[in-house]
Amino acid sequence: MKKHLLTPGPTQVPEGARLAMAREVIHHRSPEFKAIMAEVLDGLKYVLQTTGDVIVLTASGSGGMEAAVTSTVPRGGKAIVLEGGVFARRWTHICQAFGIEVVRHEIPWGSAVDPADVAQLLSKHPDAYAVFATLLESSTGVEHDIETIGRLVHGLPALLVVDAISGAVSTPCYTDRWNIDLLVVGSQKALMLPPGLAFVAVSQKAWRQIDSIQPQAFYFNLKHYRQMLASAETPWTPAITLVAGLAENLRQIRAEGIEHVWARSAVLAQATRAGVAALGLKLFAERPAAGLTAVRTPPGIETAQLLAALEERFGIKLAGGQDKLKGQIFRIGHFGAIDPFDILGTLAALELVLASLGHRVTLGSAVAAAGRVLQDPRPMAAGKD
């Protein structure tokens, strides 16, 4: 059976990248590989909208988060974490593992961080080394207002560190303009690669802080990576084939234009939401993201049964809820290589599966609603619905 992967990561990998990754390995200290890495570093700066340094780590996204924590906050130092889901909470867990004092700002899962609260936290904790935030909290489908938070942190000693593992490239993110000091990105999301690489964009302000502290890091010590940037190398052997695949995807994204990529996700987000609304389903996120839609499982339906039926009958793989959201929501990814065909097919299958599980459905209604959006897409502001 054909598989249709619409989870919020890993996501579908374009054929060009898959074939590039199937080529024979080349040596990571060779001029050929350095040329590919230089191209990748340049392409990452473009898609992340930064003129600063971008570090390539061979690790999952969580490794990129650890690099951002351990390179910027010393043991015993204080950090503010804006916690509204599984992934934001990971900032707290990483900080705690390295003896960092965490000011946890916990908000209900599904809510967006209120920038006014961040302003209060910053004035109450002027000694914080960093504010750890999330662009797209993929466990809840919320897109947080990083632009406004960036304005609040700008000019203060604290760094703004953003988990954009799912958010980057799926929604507008202007690293420099928004005053983001460290931006963490993963390969297996809107960059359309398999997992295995993480990226960290680093501002000048961040480097100054990094240079001033004693890092609790070796493999993830960003200073080791900075030393090698001039020759487009990494201190430890990188995941060579994934970098080669990334070069391919970045070429595609650049040819299309990053604004166009963002706009495509936004249109698919609108279409998906129109579709699920037509089925009487509710969104979970207060401030829904362009990259994925978290839908509340309707009463009387079991999430696990719904997901299993979509997979068994149609080969469609969606994600359920994580942690305390297990059984309460399901999540549809619409970033990266996902296209209108994927979304229309998924909505059509969702209609059929919901109907067979006893939910009242007018067949064709979700697809029609999504279709109307696709026929006449209106520009959608980031994070707005």
CB of residue 225 to its own copies, shortest distance in Å:
12
Q: Shortest Cβ distance from residue 99 to its own copies (Å)?
A: 9
Bridge partners (DSSP) of residue 199 are: 56, 185
Span of 11-19, 80-88, 113-121, 134-142 interacting with its own copies by CB under 8 A = 11-19
Q: What is the 3-state secondary structure (H, E, C) of 154-216?
A: CCCCCEEEEECCCCECCECCCCCCCCCCEEEEECCCCCCCCCCEEEEEECHHHHHHHHHCCCC
Q: Which of 204, 236, 363, 384 binds its own copies (CB under 8 A)?
A: 236
Closer to its own copies at the Cβ: 167 or 196? 196
* CB neighbours of residue 28 within 10 Å: 18
CA distance 278 to 267: 17
Binding to its own copies (CB under 8 A) within 28-87 occurs at 28, 30, 58-63, 66
Asked if 325 touches its own copies (CB under 8 A), the answer is: no
Token pair 């501002």 is found at 203
Pairing of strands 78-83, 128-134: parallel
Please state, in angstroms and rounded to a whole number, the distance separating the CA atoms of residues 358 and 99. 51
Bridge pairing between strands 292-296 and 197-202: unpaired
Single residue of 43, 85, 167, 215 touching its own copies by CB under 8 A: 215
Q: Are 303 and 311 in contact (CB under 8 A)?
A: no
Q: What mask, x for binding its own copies by CB under 8 A, covers residues 161 to 200?
A: -------------------------x-x-----xxx----
Q: Does 313 bind its own copies (CB under 8 A)?
A: no
237 contacts its own copies (rule: CB under 8 A)? yes
Q: Is 208 in the site for its own copies (CB under 8 A)?
A: no
Q: Are 320 and 306 in contact (CB under 8 A)?
A: no
Sheet of strand 159-163: strand arrangement: 53-58, 197-202, 182-186, 159-163, 128-134, 78-83, 101-106
Nearer Cβ to its own copies, position 53 or 66? 66
Stretch that binds its own copies, among 18-26, 78-86, 346-354, 367-375 (CB under 8 A): 18-26
Q: Counting contacts by CB under 8 A, is residue 27 touching its own copies? A: yes
Footprint of its own copies on this chain (CB under 8 A)?
3, 5, 7, 9-13, 18-19, 21-28, 30, 58-63, 66, 93-94, 97-98, 186, 188, 194-196, 215-221, 235-242, 317, 319
